[in-house]
Amino acid sequence: MRSSWADSVANAEESAPATGAAPAPVANHQNSRPTRSSYVPPHLRGGGRSPENQVPAAAPTPAGAYPSGAVQPSGGYAAAVGGTRWAAPPGAGSAGVGVVRQGGGGRGAVGGAGGGWNSRPGGWGDRRDREPNPFGDSEPAAVDVDFESQQNTGINFDAYEDIPVETSGHDVPPAVNTFAEIDLGDALNENIRRCKYVRPTPVQRHAIPIVIGGRDLMACAQTGSGKTAAFCFPIISGILKSRPPQRPRARTAFPLALILSPTRELSVQIHEEAKKFAYQTGVKACVAYGGAPIHQQLRELERGVDILVATPGRLMDLLERARVSLQMVNYLALDEADRMLDMGFEPQIRKIVEQMDMPPRGVRQTMLFSATFPKEIQRLASDFLADYIFLAVGRVGSSTDLIAQRVEFVLEADKRSYLMDLIHAQKANDVPGKRILLLWSSWRQRGALMLWRTGCIQMGSLQQVFMEIVHNRRKGSMR
Ligand SMILES: Nc1ncnc2c1ncn2[C@@H]1O[C@H](COP(=O)(O)OP(=O)(O)OP(=O)(O)O)[C@@H](O)[C@H]1O
């Protein structure tokens, strides 16, 4: 269970005044603060751009021309949105290996998604019989259970009212307030109930309709904001609604969706969530990451994969061995893109997206998630996305503003026991699924600086915790 951010918003607002230049909300946004001026994403700002916000010529800059360089699907984008468009991927022969840009046809286009998928000949409906229950021993939820009273407590929804949400781009689909407003299909809806998600989080409210509507998305949202579901739901729903693919019988795996993530831990978490969301739908998620033997992952891939969650390094390895082909990828999601770039993955990511056999932008549907929006990410967005919608939930690049911070001086010798006390205290006060206490022992002399933050990263991955801290320090955002 990962951290959630809404609680930290509440905490932060109580304990710390917002700092930094927070972009003001705008036109399309749902939680308007009328006193603020319109927010313009950095890459769309015209004159007077600060050097930090300047983007290279290739990046989209003029307002209204959003974004530039987009590869328009033939027949125009509306054609893709209005229906299903098939395109032959590079190298696809007459075997029927095809790529569909799933416009989704908007909400309600395909009622009860999933029927055709599982029942098709040669489909993987039979996978459901041998699929382990990712919800553990818990009984599958009955439809009439009162989920409002049993909801997942990982997120404090009451803290959402003040969260600024901004969207820009043309024809932005309206946000939804409930999952029921979106036609995700019965099987997926059942799994949402099993997850005890009663209401969508802000990023889900906006991102899901955008992606279901067939649009590319650049989303700035913090860790723990519910991004995983925001990209997984439309992917699973889109796969279920699409024409079942004909995949060549080969040892090569042909995923329909690729989710790139920076670390093994995050990949595993996304995979775990994806398995829950796709439970009993026939859609299969696999994970591939480095630092672990490849053979087990290869065996898993050979059994078939629809959604591949992978770290860039291991995926390159699989591509070079020709054990994975990206030519049927309809959906590409990059999670924590800023972190991937910080970790030096840009060359590999570019190779995967631009130089292998993945369908080009405009044919596949692409979602780029990042907590910050520096110029490197703007460049990536401009290169990878087509006719995209920009969504900012919370204030871009202001993760530390959303986090309650406390500094305590502790004698060197007491550091460990103090840390343990804090962890135990947090555990004792915590409710299941709630976010984590995060600690940082300073590398400065003279005692220890201990700083903890709530609502950012989960327990269970100290490595991840320290990477986040290093990441923030590098960005100079830790004060
Ligand atoms: N709509 C929802 N209702 C209740 N809980 C939710 C909802 N969406 C997500 N959660 C829970 O909130 C927590 C954080 O969500 P999630 O892990 O998807 O965030 P994230 O933004 O993807 O984080 P990360 O950056 O670590 O990937 C998880 O425990 C998840 O189960």
The residue whose C-alpha atom lies closest to atom 9 belonging to ligand 1 is: 226
Binding site membership of 4 for ligand 1 (Cβ less than 6 Å): yes
- E strands present in 1-128: 84-87, 99-102
> For a substitution probing ligand 1, which of 152, 194, 271, 461 has the most ligand atoms within 8 Å of its CB?
152
| Shared-domain flag, residues 243 and 174 | yes
| Shared-domain flag, residues 208 and 319 | yes
Binding site membership of 227 for ligand 1 (Cβ less than 6 Å): yes
Q: Which amino acid is at 428?
A: A
What's the pLDDT score for residue 384? 97
What's the pLDDT score for residue 129? 59
In a domain, 304, yes or no: yes
pLDDT band of 408, cuts 50, 70, 90: confident
Burial 203-219 (b: 16+ CB within 10 A, else e): bbbbbbbbbbbbbbbbb
Cβ partners under 8 Å of residue 277, min gap 6: 188, 191, 192, 195, 229, 232, 233, 236
In a domain, 299, yes or no: yes
In a domain, 456, yes or no: yes
What's the pLDDT score for residue 250? 78
195 CA from centroid of ligand 1 (Å)? 10
Q: Of the ranges 12-16, 55-59, 102-106, 114-118, which one carries the lowest mean pLDDT score?
A: 55-59
* In the predicted structure, residue 324 carries a pLDDT above the cut 80: yes
Q: Tokens 């990828």 correspond to what residue? A: 329
Atom of ligand 1 nearest to the CA of 195: 31
Q: Judging by DSSP bridges, how do beta strands 257-260 and 448-454 pair with one another? A: unpaired
DSSP string, 256-286: SEEEE-SSHHHHHHHHHHHHHHTTTTS--EE
CATH code of residue 429: 3.30.70
- Cβ atoms of 311 and 341 closer than 8 Å: no
Atom of ligand 1 nearest to the CA of 151: 4
Average pLDDT rounded to a whole number, residues 170-182: 93
Q: Which of 333, 359, 393 is the last residue of a domain?
A: 393
List, for residues 357-390, the tens digit of each pLDDT value. 999 999 999 999 998 889 999 999 999 999 999 9
| Shared-domain flag, residues 379 and 316 | yes
In a domain, 17, yes or no: no
In a domain, 2, yes or no: no
Binding site membership of 461 for ligand 1 (Cβ less than 6 Å): no
| Shared-domain flag, residues 385 and 405 | no
225 CA from centroid of ligand 1 (Å)? 6
| Shared-domain flag, residues 176 and 294 | yes
Q: Which amino acid is at 274?
A: A
Angle of helix 186-194 relative to helix 227-241, nearest 10 degrees, comes to 150
In a domain, 190, yes or no: yes
What's the pLDDT score for residue 251? 87
Atom of ligand 1 nearest to the CA of 229: 18
Structural domain including 456 reads 399-474
More reliable by pLDDT, 5 or 154: 154
What's the pLDDT score for residue 137? 55
Atom of ligand 1 nearest to the CA of 198: 3
What's the pLDDT score for residue 275? 96
- E strands present in 64-216: 84-87, 99-102, 165-168
What's the pLDDT score for residue 427? 65
Binding site membership of 272 for ligand 1 (Cβ less than 6 Å): no
Mean of all residue pLDDT scores within the chain: 69
| Shared-domain flag, residues 95 and 150 | yes
> For a substitution probing ligand 1, which of 135, 189, 206, 228 has the most ligand atoms within 8 Å of its CB?
228
| Shared-domain flag, residues 114 and 146 | yes
434 CA from centroid of ligand 1 (Å)? 10
Q: Of the ranges 157-161, 410-414, 468-472, which one carries the lowest mean pLDDT score?
A: 468-472
pLDDT band of 29, cuts 50, 70, 90: very low
What's the pLDDT score for residue 246? 80
In a domain, 31, yes or no: no
Binding site membership of 204 for ligand 1 (Cβ less than 6 Å): yes
List, for residues 420-466, the tens digit of each pLDDT value. 887 777 666 654 444 444 444 443 323 333 333 333 333 333 444 44
| Shared-domain flag, residues 467 and 338 | no
Binding site membership of 155 for ligand 1 (Cβ less than 6 Å): yes
CATH code of residue 242: 3.40.50.300
ipTM entry: 0.95
| Shared-domain flag, residues 357 and 408 | no
Q: Three-state DSSP class for 369?
A: strand
What's the pLDDT score for residue 447? 31
Q: Which of 364, 393, 422 is the last residue of a domain?
A: 393
In a domain, 10, yes or no: no
| Shared-domain flag, residues 293 and 376 | yes
Q: How many CB atoms lie within 10 A of CB 391?
A: 28
Q: Tokens 């984590």 correspond to what residue? A: 436
Total-model pTM: 0.64
pLDDT band of 412, cuts 50, 70, 90: confident
197 CA from centroid of ligand 1 (Å)? 9
Q: Of the ranges 58-72, 319-333, 379-393, 406-420, which one carries the lowest mean pLDDT score?
A: 58-72
Query: How many domains does the chain fold into?
Result: 2
**333: DSSP letter:** E
Binding site membership of 223 for ligand 1 (Cβ less than 6 Å): yes
The residue whose C-alpha atom lies closest to atom 20 belonging to ligand 1 is: 224
What's the pLDDT score for residue 30? 40
The residue whose C-alpha atom lies closest to atom 3 belonging to ligand 1 is: 197
Average pLDDT rounded to a whole number, residues 120-134: 58
What's the pLDDT score for residue 249? 74
| Shared-domain flag, residues 273 and 407 | no
Q: Which of 362, 393, 424 is the last residue of a domain?
A: 393
Atom of ligand 1 nearest to the CA of 225: 21
* In the predicted structure, residue 135 carries a pLDDT above the cut 80: no
Query: Residues 402, 179, 134, CA angle at the centre, nearest 5°?
Result: 85
| Shared-domain flag, residues 323 and 447 | no
Distance between start and end Cα atoms, the chain = 28
